[in-house]
A = this chain, B = another copy of it.
Amino acid sequence: MKLENLETPALIVDLDVLESNMAAMSRLLEGTGMGLRPHYKSHRCPAIAHRQIAAGAKGMTCAKLAEAKDLALSGIEDILIANQVTDPAKVARLASLAKCCRLSVCVDNGENVRQLQEAAGVQNAMIHCLVEYEVGMNRCGVDTPQAVLALARQIMSCPNLRFDGIQAYAGNLAHEEDEAKRREQSDVVENRLRELKAYLEGHEIPVREISGTSTGTVEMRRKDSVYTEVQAGSYLFMDMAYRAVGAGFSHSLFVLASVISRRPGAVITDAGVKSVSVDQRPPAFQGYEDVPVEMSEEHSAIYGDFPLAVGDKLRMIPSHCCTTVNLHNWLYLVRGDKVVDRVPVVSRGRSL
């Protein structure tokens, strides 16, 4: 099966580039003491999670309980849900899942800790907990070392919970295009975490893990980083948003599109916002990266007198790899011009 035989729109991954991105991440982390716990949200595809584990990842990060279940059912043994799970029905399922694998979850309030202990106690499970610390996203998490300490103590008093450390994801810095500012604010986060760790240890709370960082900031972590693990996801694929911040990885993910209509000065393809996401910025066509793309639901258009005819195929570089993969049922793995496998996006839409 050749790439040219694929019907479009089709989501393709260049395996050679994917592998070189994985090797580049391993080199970045070598000697830093930081482990890699890649984020499942970027591919939602157990077949790729297994490649990451085989390449040395210590486990997987995910955002939702439904993703964690898919990972566990696929044989992944160490899973972090980098999010709060508060619905009582979900908490009960989380406790069940914690009997199947090493499962960690984030918490930011005491009532949730109480719920987790109750559910884990009933099922005789052990749930690992990270307290989420708010470091800039203005999203979940607690704001002060005192609040972290109170939650850590509460967790440590629960027989079926284990306090492992801190979740600290500064996703707001991941796409900061001013590198100096990204580095400076990244250092501010490091310092806040260092102070937090010292504060907790001063109160005899051991902090085994500090989990976070991203594709956009991993290069800024030094050997003395306080982080113990990196939750990057997009490094596998890259996208136009990470290209804008100069992240040191190459594009391996594309939406293959076909020209379906041609007028003087206009080229129309069959891939629209139902095939490539636009939540971060517009996508771009490879070879035409500087040409603005006009998107509608099932079409994209570039305007200019390009040497393209109906039937020609183009590779679209997604603006945001994670939300683009979530639009597709299948990922075609290619080497050169050959399709070598098709793997299901098992956790597509699994946001429960």
Identify the A interface with B (CB < 8 A): 7-9, 41, 63-64, 83-87, 89-90, 108-109, 111-112, 134, 137-143, 171, 258, 260-263, 266, 268, 270-275, 277-279, 294-299, 301, 303, 310-311, 322-323, 326-329, 348-349, 351-352
In the A-B complex, list the 6 residue pairs whose CB atoms are closest, starting with the nearest.
A140-B261, A63-B298, A84-B260, A273-B279, A86-B260, A274-B351
Nearest chain-B residue to A88 (Cβ)?
B311
Number of this chain's copies in the complex: 2
Closest partner residue, chain B, to A147 (CB atom): B263
- List residues of chain B with CB within 8 A of the CB of A311: 86-87
* Chain B residues in 8 Å Cβ range of A322: 297
* Interchain CB contact under 8 A, A349 and B328: yes
Which residues from B are CB-within-8-Å of A294?
A: 138
Q: Contacting A171 at CB < 8 Å: which of B260, B296, B352?
A: B296
- What distance in Å separates the Cβ of A90 from its nearest Cβ neighbour in chain B? 7
Of the listed residues A8, A90, A273, A274, the one surrounded by the most CB atoms of chain B closer than 10 A to its CB is A274
A140 touches B86 (CB 8 A): no
Which of B89, B277, B278, B279 is A295 in contact with, Cβ under 8 Å?
B279
Q: Report Cα–Cα, A326/B328, bound state, in Å.
A: 10
A291–chain B nearest beta-carbon distance, Å:
15
By beta carbon, the residue of chain B nearest A310 is B86
From A66, which residue of chain B is reached at the shortest CB distance? B7
Which single residue of chain B is at the shortest CB-CB distance from A309? B111
A68 to chain B, nearest CB (A): 13
